[in-house]
Amino acid sequence: MRNIAKRHKAILNELHKEGYIAVKDLSNLLGVSEVTIRKDLKELENRKLLLRNSGSASLLSSLITDRHIDEKEKVQVDEKLRIALAAKSLLRKNDKIIIASGTTLLSFAEKIDFASPLTVITSSVKVSLILSYLPNIEVIQLGGAMRKSSASVIGPYAETLLTELNCNKLFIGADGIDLDFGVTTSNIAEAHLNQYMINSAQEVIVLTDSTKFRKRGFGKICNINQVHHIITDLDAPQKDVQLIMEMGIKVTLV
């Protein structure tokens, strides 16, 4: 397809159908070189019509906006339940774990009925309240400024305490997982706190439903290769899952 305008329209049509498409696939579909497709994508990104990634493109709608926890609790409920049960199976006696904020992490906390001793450090006020009723679980609530949309704390008080801890596992959520940009959340202060959590944990486990793939939040938490294990549902994009596994990261589909 030699006509630039028609080619650009075809690219955008494919993106609106798929939400994400590889340069190689566009090249085959439109009968032009990958170099030409990359130039097209660059021009369309300059016009703020899409987001370029390494070897692919996605819609601008993949940018995540902040939503209140009460709203997010009502979506992907079954998927979050399956993810929570899979995460629970990873707990071991005397584990020292960090649970970050988010609705999938809240589902995880609700399913913890661990009979053995367990220590939980969390930024989520709701997680603390749920686990406070279990006598065998020691709960350490991080302090700081309240981020009301997530019912969790953020800021230097929480970050300072995390520098003094060494935990077995970190269970963390995400608003976006993009193979090039990494794991993200919609709030930059929360992303910064999550980075401290990662530095305090031996193993980083991301709990996220499939709708978060190929999307980006405002605040970057980490690169994909800093994650050890991702638990997600069966609708996660197969191409992304395969590439993540090829990086040596465990992926559990539930």
At residue 118, what is the residue type? Answer: L
- Sketch the domain layout of the chain as residue ranges: 4-62, 69-253
What's the whole-number mean pLDDT along residues 113-134? 94
What confidence tens digit (pLDDT) does each residue in 195-230 have? 999 999 999 999 999 989 988 888 999 999 999 999
Indicate if the pLDDT at residue 67 is higher than 90: no
For the chain, what is the mean pLDDT?
Answer: 89
At residue 82, what is the residue type? Answer: R
What CATH architecture is 69-253?
Answer: 3-Layer(aba) Sandwich (3.40)
- CA-CA distance, 87 to 8, in Å (whole number)? 43
Indicate if the pLDDT at residue 71 is higher than 70: no
CA dihedral 140, 68, 236, 62 (to 10 degrees): -130
Task: Write down the pLDDT at residue 127.
Answer: 97
Q: pTM of this prediction?
A: 0.78
What CATH architecture is 4-62?
Answer: Orthogonal Bundle (1.10)
At residue 190, what is the residue type? Answer: E
Residue 37: both structure tokens together? 């497709």
